[in-house]
């Protein structure tokens, strides 16, 4: 099973992962590709995959680079290239993947596609720059899923 997980929240540019995941709905057979949206899952992210799955995480990334840049991190690289989290009890994506690694509970394939959003803005609305880049994240995710399906 390919599991696409949009990470984020309903607010501001943090919506990027959710919006791209929503855009993918209807593009693939639900029997093979599951799409879900999660808000701050912390360690419970591990509940959302099994060892035999291919998991594609879609998330907004802030590294002060050019807005719209797409990052592609595979497997344990997610631990080393994402900063320690400020999410609930300091347990975010990097920590969840590190925990899965320690428990030998990583899925067969794990990939994070991140969309650079620049400085995160504390506003409710999506910024025009990020909004204009969502299609790039959706396309990158679409291409990745097609590749996995063909392998």
Partner 1 sequence: MTERRIEIPILTRVEGEGALYVRIEGERVADLRLNIFEPPRFFEKFLEGRSWKEIPDMVARICGICPVAYQMSAVHAIEAAFGAVITPEIRTLRRLYYCGEWLESHSMHIHLLAAPDFLGFPDAMAMAQEYPDIVRRGLRLQGLGNRILSMMGGRSVHPVGARVGGFYHAPDESEAREILARLREAAQDVEDLVRWTAELKVPSITRNAPFVSLRHAHDYPMNEGRVISSDGLNITADEFEDHVEERQVSYSTALHAHINGRPYWVGPLARVNNNLDRLPEQTIHLLKQTGIAWPSRNPYHSIVARALEIHVAFTEATTILENYHRPEKAYVEIEPRAGIGMACTEAPRGILWHRYELDSAGLVKTARIVPPTSQNQAQIEADLRESVEEDLSLNDAALRARLEAGIRNYDPCISCSTHFLKLTVERT
- Residue 67's region, left for phi above 0, alpha for psi from -120 to 50, else beta, is beta
Q: Whole-number minimum distance, CB 44 to partner 1, in Å?
A: 5
> CA 95, CA 43: separation in Å to the nearest integer?
8
Q: Give the nearer residue to partner 1 in terms of CB position, either 22 or 129.
A: 22
> CA 91, CA 12: separation in Å to the nearest integer?
21
Contact positions vs partner 1 (CB under 8 A): 38-44, 46-47, 86-91, 95, 98-99, 101-104
Q: Whole-number minimum distance, CB 49 to partner 1, in Å?
A: 13
Q: Give the nearer residue to partner 1 in terms of CB position, either 62 or 129.
A: 62
The 10 Å CB-count burial string (b at 16+, else e) for 61-84 is bbeeeebbeebebeeeebbeebee
Q: Whole-number minimum distance, CB 79 to partner 1, in Å?
A: 9
Query: Which pair of tokens denotes residue 99?
Result: 């925990």
List Cβ neighbours of 109 (8 Å cut-off, separation of 6 or more): 53, 54, 55, 74, 75, 148
Q: Give the nearer residue to partner 1 in terms of CB position, either 13 or 95.
A: 95
> CA 32, CA 95: separation in Å to the nearest integer?
28
Q: Give the nearer residue to partner 1 in terms of CB position, either 51 or 103.
A: 103
Q: Give the nearer residue to partner 1 in terms of CB position, either 43 or 68.
A: 43
Q: Whole-number minimum distance, CB 8 to partner 1, in Å?
A: 12
Q: Whole-number minimum distance, CB 95 to partner 1, in Å?
A: 6
């Amino acid at each position: 099973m390919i599991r696409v997980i949009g990470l984020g929240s309903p607010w501001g540019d943090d919506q990027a992962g959710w919006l791209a995941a929503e855009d993918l709905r209807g593009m693939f057979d639900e029997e093979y590709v599951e799409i879900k949206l999660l808000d701050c899952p912390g360690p419970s992210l591990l509940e959302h995959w099994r060892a035999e799955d291919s998991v594609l995480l879609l998330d907004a990334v802030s590294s002060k680079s050019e807005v719209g840049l797409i990052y592609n991190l595979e497997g344990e690289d997610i631990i080393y290239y994402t900063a320690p989290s400020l999410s609930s009890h300091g347990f975010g994506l990097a920590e969840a993947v590190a925990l899965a690694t320690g428990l030998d509970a990583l899925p067969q394939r794990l990939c994070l596609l991140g969309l650079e959003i620049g400085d995160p803005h504390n506003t409710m609305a999506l910024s025009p720059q990020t909004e204009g880049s969502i299609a790039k994240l959706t396309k990158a995710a679409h291409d990745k899923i097609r590749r996995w399906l063909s392998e």
